[in-house]
Homo-oligomer: A and B are copies of this chain.
């Protein structure tokens, strides 16, 4: 039986396999430390489109198409699509994935959406509701700046605590069989911990790492409690986009609660750019950041059995330009997924 574990976690009776996946990124991400690992790198960040939002839609479309192709599947083989992005009314998704005509379940969890989509996608398979699903999320530096901050043409200055939204999209084909047309699955999902909204009252949208770190700490502590686990259980505990500031806050918060994750912690936002040479300040962020890092880097490590088991936990800052302008705080949320190597 699938099992509810403790307050917020799920243990799957049978693992759900990540059959294959794909990543596409913009030029800046292509120049970063993971650049050679992505399936596709754009020459510029417009991807042949006339608007930033359309470019982001193209990222989702390409990521899904490549993931299906790599898995040797067609859209008709996919029961449901779990998809989301950061834009108002998930605009990148609405115009990105419609051509596949796969039944769609739209998600919103800010930058945690990749964790949410994998959670619900895996549940739909483990529950017997679907044979195969695709999970996809995206973000785009320029569409996000327009949506949340200032027009790029302002050239406004960014504090060192600000993060740089990743231009990219990652798509994941999940299924119940260890093997599919393309060979052995890349990894397996064995459990998950669903996060709560955590609001420490911080209001600085230029320091989202600090806003999200308490939510990451909450989900992680809950995971350890529900599973009666310790950080040593994992080769890596991977947050989505806490960046430099958030990483420090997370490690400190967990130390206060009796867990030392300083050895295991890794943040996708800190892996994707070379902060020194790429001028990205606190690190990368966005719905696409954790997704492309998972597809290109984390799954590769699991496939090569350099790592046996990781906790993948994208983190989301639940702000909008309206909430910011109305002086509201920036609550956070984080969803954790246990991903293991396929033996």
Chain A residues in the interface with B (C-beta under 8 A): 1-4, 7-8, 10, 51, 53-54, 79-80, 84, 86-91, 94-95, 97-98, 101-110, 116, 119-120, 123-124, 126-131, 146-147, 194-199, 318-323, 326, 328, 331, 333
The answer to whether B322 and A87 touch across the interface, beta carbons within 8 angstroms, is yes
- Selected A-B contacts with CB under 8 Å, 9 pairs: A2-B128, A3-B128, A8-B103, A54-B326, A87-B320, A98-B199, A105-B119, A146-B322, A147-B322
**Given contact pairs A105-B116, A123-B127, a sample of 5 additional A-B residue pairs in the complex whose CB atoms are under 8 Å apart:** A89-B110, A94-B197, A95-B331, A102-B196, A107-B107
B197 touches A319 (CB 8 A): no
Cα–Cα distance between A53 and B324 once the two chains are bound (Å): 12
A2-B94 contact, Cβ under 8 Å, with A108-B84, A123-B123: no
Cβ contact of A51, chosen from B51, B97, B131, B326, cutoff 8 A = B326
Give the residue of B7, B106, B320 whose beta carbon is less than 8 angstroms from that of A103: B7
Contacts of A130 in B (CB 8 A): 4
Q: Is the CB of A322 within 8 A of B91?
A: yes
Per the bound structure, the CA–CA distance linking A333 and B81 in Å amounts to 13
Quick one: given A88-B88, A98-B199, A127-B2, are A53 and B104 in contact (CB under 8 Å)?
A: no
Q: Which chain B residues lie closer than 8 Å to A91 at the CB level?
A: 318, 320, 322-323
Residues from chain B with a CB closer than 8 A to the CB of A89 are 86, 88, 108, 110, 318-320, 323
A87-B320, A124-B123, A127-B129 are contacts. A108–B110 as well, Cβ < 8 Å? no
Residues of B within 8 A of A126 (CB): 127, 129
Question: In whole Å, how far is A159's beta carbon from the nearest beta carbon of chain B?
Answer: 22
Distance from A287 Cβ to chain B, minimum over Cβ atoms (Å): 11
Residue of B nearest to A193 (CB): B103
A120 and B105 CA atoms in complex are apart in Å by 9
Docked pose: A199 CA to B110 CA in angstroms? 25
Closest chain B residue to A192 by CB distance? B129
Residue of B nearest to A131 (CB): B4
- A91-B320, A318-B94 given as contacts; is B333 within 8 A of A194 (CB)? no
* Contacting pair B104 A107 (CB below 8 A): no
Q: With A and B bound together, what is the CA distance between A328 and B326 in angstroms?
A: 29
Closest Cβ–Cβ distance, residue A316 to chain B (whole Å): 9
Contact check, B129 vs A128: say whether CB atoms are below 8 A apart.
no
- Report whether B53 and A326 are in contact in the complex, using a CB–CB cutoff of 8 Å: yes
Min CB–CB distance A97 → chain B (angstroms): 7
Q: How far is the CA of A10 from the CA of B124 in the complex (A)?
A: 10
Asked if A95 contacts B3 (CB within 8 A), the reply is no
Residues of B within 8 A of A97 (CB): 197
- Find out whether the CB atom of B4 lies under 8 angstroms from the CB atom of A104: no
Residues B104 and A197 in contact, CB atoms below 8 Å apart: yes
Per a CB cutoff under 8 Å, which of B87, B98, B147 touches A331?
B98
Quote the shortest CB–CB distance from A10 to chain B (angstroms): 5
Q: With contacts A79-B4, A323-B53 known, is A95 near B328, CB below 8 A?
A: yes
Q: Assuming A87-B320, A88-B322, A331-B95, is B103 touching A195 (CB within 8 A)?
A: yes
CB distance from A94 to the nearest CB of B (A): 4
Alpha-carbon distance between A129 and B333 when the two chains are bound, in angstroms? 20
Q: Are A106 and B105 in contact (CB under 8 A)?
A: no
- Pick the contact of A105: B4, B88, B194, B320 (CB < 8 A): B194
